[in-house]
Amino acid sequence: MSRLSRRTFAAAALAALTTVPGAAQGAAAVPGGGRRRVITDLRGVWLATVANRDWPSRPGLTAAEQRTELTAHLDTAVRRRLNAVIFQVRPTADALWPSPYEPWSQVLTGTQGRSPGWDPLGTAVEEAHARGLELHAWFNPYRIANHTDPGRLVATHPARRNPDWVVTYGGKLYYNPGLPEVRAFVQDAMLDAVHRYPVDAVHFDDYFYPYPVAGQRFDDDAAYEAHGGAFPDRAAWRRDNINRLVRETAARVKDVRPTTRFGISPFGVWRNAATDPRGSDTRAGVQTYDDLYADTRRWVRENWIDYICPQLYWNIGFPAADYAKLLPWWADVARGTGTSLYVGEALYKAGDPAQPAAWQDPAELSRHLTLAGRYAQVRGHVYFAAREVAADRNGALARVVADHYGRPARPPR
pLDDT-derived band of residue 411, with 50, 70 and 90 as boundaries? Answer: low
Read off φ and ψ for residue 217, nearest 5 degrees.
-130, 135
Residue 103 resides in a domain = yes
Pair type for strands 166-169 and 378-384:
unpaired
Regarding predicted confidence, which is higher, 412 or 293? 293
Q: What is the pTM of this model?
A: 0.91
pLDDT at 177: 98
pLDDT-derived band of residue 39, with 50, 70 and 90 as boundaries? Answer: low
Alpha-carbon span 10 to 267, nearest angstrom: 9
Q: What is the per-residue pLDDT across 235-269, written as a single tens digit (0 to 9) for each?
A: 999 999 999 999 999 999 999 999 999 999 999 99
Residue 409 resides in a domain = no
194-222 average pLDDT score: 98
pLDDT-derived band of residue 37, with 50, 70 and 90 as boundaries? Answer: low
Alpha-carbon span 204 to 93, nearest angstrom: 13
Helix 180-196 / helix 120-130 crossing angle, nearest 10 deg: 50
Alpha-carbon span 356 to 353, nearest angstrom: 8
pLDDT-derived band of residue 408, with 50, 70 and 90 as boundaries? Answer: confident
Cis peptide before 250 (omega within 30 of 0): no
Residues 86/128, Cβ–Cβ less than 8 Å: no
Q: What is the per-residue pLDDT across 100-149, written as a single tens digit (0 to 9) for each?
A: 999 999 999 999 999 999 999 999 999 999 999 999 999 999 999 999 99
Residue 410 resides in a domain = no
Residues 302/338, Cβ–Cβ less than 8 Å: no
Residues 50/89, Cβ–Cβ less than 8 Å: no
pLDDT > 90? residue 413: no
pLDDT > 70? residue 16: no
Residues 130/73, Cβ–Cβ less than 8 Å: no
Dihedral (C-alpha) 250, 256, 257, 258: value to the nearest 10 degrees? 60
pLDDT-derived band of residue 400, with 50, 70 and 90 as boundaries? Answer: very high
pLDDT > 80? residue 327: yes
SS3 assignment for the chain: CCHHHHHHHHHHHHCCCCCCCCCCEEEEECCCCCEEEEECCEEEEEECCHHHCCCCCCCCCCHHHHHHHHHHHHHHHHHCCCCEEEEEEECCCCECCCCCCCCECHHHHCCCCCCCCCCHHHHHHHHHHHCCCEEEEEECCCEEECCCCHHHCCCCCHHHHCHHHEEEECCEEEECCCCHHHHHHHHHHHHHHHHHCCCCEEEECCCCCCCCCCCCCCCCHHHHHHHCCCCCCHHHHHHHHHHHHHHHHHHHHHHHCCCCEEEECCECCCCECCCCCCCECCCCCCCHHHHHCCCHHHHHHCCCCCEECCECCCCCCCCCCCHHHHHHHHHHHHCCCCCEEEEEECHHHCCCCCCCHHHHCCCHHHHHHHHHCCCCCEEEEEEECHHHHHHCCCCHHHHHHHHHCCCCCCCCC
pLDDT at 412: 53
Q: What percent of the chain has pLDDT over 90?
A: 88
Amino acid at 386: A
pLDDT at 40: 77
Residue 168 resides in a domain = yes
Alpha-carbon span 382 to 265, nearest angstrom: 10
Residues 127/72, Cβ–Cβ less than 8 Å: no
Sign of CA dihedral 161, 162, 163, 165: negative
Say how many domains are in the chain: 1
324-347 average pLDDT score: 98
Q: What is the per-residue pLDDT across 256-311, written as a single tens digit (0 to 9) for each?
A: 999 999 999 999 999 999 999 999 999 999 999 999 999 999 999 999 999 999 99
Determine which of 34-43, 49-58, 398-407 has the lowest per-residue pLDDT on average.
Answer: 34-43
337-360 average pLDDT score: 98
HSE at residue 177, side-chain half, CA atoms within 13 A, is 24
Q: CATH code at 222?
A: 3.20.20.80
Regarding predicted confidence, which is higher, 114 or 34? 114
10 Å CB burial of residue 27 (0-12, 13-18, 19+) is exposed
pLDDT-derived band of residue 229, with 50, 70 and 90 as boundaries? Answer: very high
Instruction: Give the chain's largest Cα–Cα span.
Output: 57
Pair type for strands 378-384 and 42-47:
parallel
Range of the domain at 183: 3-404
Dihedral (C-alpha) 221, 226, 231, 236: value to the nearest 10 degrees? -40
pLDDT at 36: 61
Residues 252/187, Cβ–Cβ less than 8 Å: yes
Amino acid at 401: V
pLDDT > 60? residue 179: yes
Q: Give me Rg for the CA atoms of the chain.
A: 20
Alpha-carbon span 297 to 291, nearest angstrom: 14
Residue 112 resides in a domain = yes
Residue 130 resides in a domain = yes
pLDDT-derived band of residue 31, with 50, 70 and 90 as boundaries? Answer: very low
Average per-residue pLDDT for the chain: 92
pLDDT at 204: 98
Residue 411 resides in a domain = no
Residue 412 resides in a domain = no
pLDDT at 381: 98
pLDDT at 56: 98
